[in-house]
Structure 1
Amino acid sequence: MNGMTEDKQKPHYHGHRQRLRQRFLRDGGTSMADYELVELLLTLALPRRDVKPIAKDLIATFGSFADIVVARPEQLSQVKGMGETAVVPFKLVQEAALRLLRQEGRISPQINSFDSLVDYCRAAMSREPIEQFRILFLDTKNKLIADEVQQKGTIDHTAVYPREVVKRSLELNAAAVILAHNHPSGDPTPSQADIDMTRTIRDAASALDIAVHDHIIVGRQGSFSFRAAGYL
């Protein structure tokens, strides 16, 4: 009788959570749907709540696991049940993914790592709802010194100042930079303003022996390389 009483006292989702964990450990989550991964993350933050409704609301609001992970904390917290504790695991996953991509040698501007460079840029900002301009600063061996968001703008414009790009490069003793920004519209095709701005930065940096290896534009529909297109 005591065993039956204990079973009745367990939350109805207890067995479901255990099965989720076992499935994840069996194949690393490859067989799991997006909402199941979301649910599993939520169980870590909210161990005493039924998180399936929250997981389904997150998928309904943002569309996919990836979109949830890259959503801003204030956007996530607007979903019912998503307090600060529940937001943290998703932002932790995003930062972990970016750090894995930033590991030594993965984003060198050499041709054989171009795909890794694009993957990193897309992971970092392709789903951002506003334009973001970031710079990857490299040393003389093309190893990453720093990755910094230089400016944030509106849904279709970011003001970039070549003087600030060069100034920061000198402060970090960078020998080269890779420029990157996103197009929230999804289309990575550069505007004339993008082309003009890139050439202005290139000329200003070149005068101080700082190379501009590339300018990558990312969006949901793909990516664009100024170097590959012949603009640099």
Structure 2
Amino acid sequence: MVIVARESQHRPISSWPKAHQPREKLRLQGANSLSDAELLAIFLRAGVKGKSAVSLAQDLLTQFQGIQGLVNANTEDICKCFGMGPSKWAQIQAAYELVRRCLQESLCAGAVFSSLLQVREFLQAKIGRLPHEVFLCLYLDSSNRLIECQELFRGSIDRTAIYPREIIKESLARNASSLIVVHNHPGGNPLPSPQDELITKDLQEALSWVDIELLDHCIVAGHGFFSFSDAGLLNRL
């Protein structure tokens, strides 16, 4: 396999061998064949003087320590980078939002528990990057299909007030058969606190009185994920 020399990556992409140009490579070999920088270059569309779009993309990924850091960056951070501006920041955010909506659409179209990884990716995309704590309810029907994903509570950086009565009311209003509750830890540690365990126990018990099953309580952090169900904690609480 022929590799484009590192020094040649700074030249305009139009001067590269056809098979190595990101759009052509995607067409011929599929999206999986592209590096993160090549995929990002397609969204950036053009480089700057002395840098191809791929070289510019690689600089951004290095500066922001990967894709997650890049999509979390605000307009001011992006505009400080050579060759970047509000329009390119908007392109990156739009691409990220399309992925998030695609994941949510997929969840609505099929049984949630047929793809745990898909659920995790959706939750990471939805709340993993938030600087404040939120509490979500995923209401499911009898076939484990998503009825609605609702943000029910919002708190400070380290505390959210959870009210089981409100959760039950919202679940009954949607005729939900089961429920997944989710909250994020902005501090980055996804492991449950004693308070997390207590609210899970209280909620599980309260839902049982109205014949609604608590399928899971998930905790999302920027680079971590915890599932009470996967850890075998639901039946032990």
What's the TM-score bracket when you normalise by the shorter of the two chains?
A: 0.7 to 0.9
1:73-222 alignment to 2 at 5 Å?
A: 75-80=74-79, 81-83=84-86, 85-102=87-104, 103=106, 104-108=109-113, 113-222=115-224
How many aligned positions are there? 211
In structure 2, relative to structure 1, the CA distance for the partners of 1:120 and 1:16 (3 Å cut) is farther
Question: Which structure 2 segments of 5+ residues have no match?
Answer: 1-10
195-204 or 116-125, which deviates more: 116-125
Task: Give the AA of the match of 1:230.
Answer: L
Identity of aligned residues (%): 31
* Distance 1:168-1:62 versus aligned 2 partners, 3 A rule: farther
Q: 1:64 to 1:152 in 2, by over 3 A?
A: farther
Distance in 1, matches of 2:183 and 2:151, equals 9
Q: Secondary structure at the match of 1:216?
A: strand
TM-score (normalised: structure 1): 0.73
SS of aligned partner of 2:229? helix
Residues 50-65 of structure 1: pairs in structure 2 closer than 5 A:
52=53, 55=57, 58-65=60-67
CA 1:107–1:13: 2 relative to 1, 3 Å: same
| Structure 1 residues 119 and 187, CA gap change in structure 2 (3 angstroms) | same
The separation in 2 between residues aligned to 1:28 and 1:16, in whole angstroms, is: 21
Q: Does the CA-based 8 Å contact 2:135-2:154 persist in structure 1?
A: yes
Q: CA RMSD in A?
A: 3.1
Residues 22-52 of structure 1: CA distance to partner in whole angstroms, max 9, x if unpaired? Answer: 2232333434333332232122xxx697684
- Structure 1 position 61, deviation (Å): 4.6
Note if contact 1:38-1:65 (Cα within 8 Å) is conserved in structure 2: no
Would the alpha carbon gap of residues 88 and 174 (structure 1) be closer, same or farther in structure 2, given more than 3 Å must change?
A: farther
Distance 1:214 1:26, change over 3 A: same
Give how far 1:192 is off: 0.5
Q: Deviations over 1:98-130 (max 9, x none)?
A: 34434222523xxx5334333332343334343
TM-score by length of 2: 0.72
SS at match of 1:217: strand
Deviation of the 1:202 alpha carbon:
2.1
Q: Does 1:41 align with 2:40?
A: no
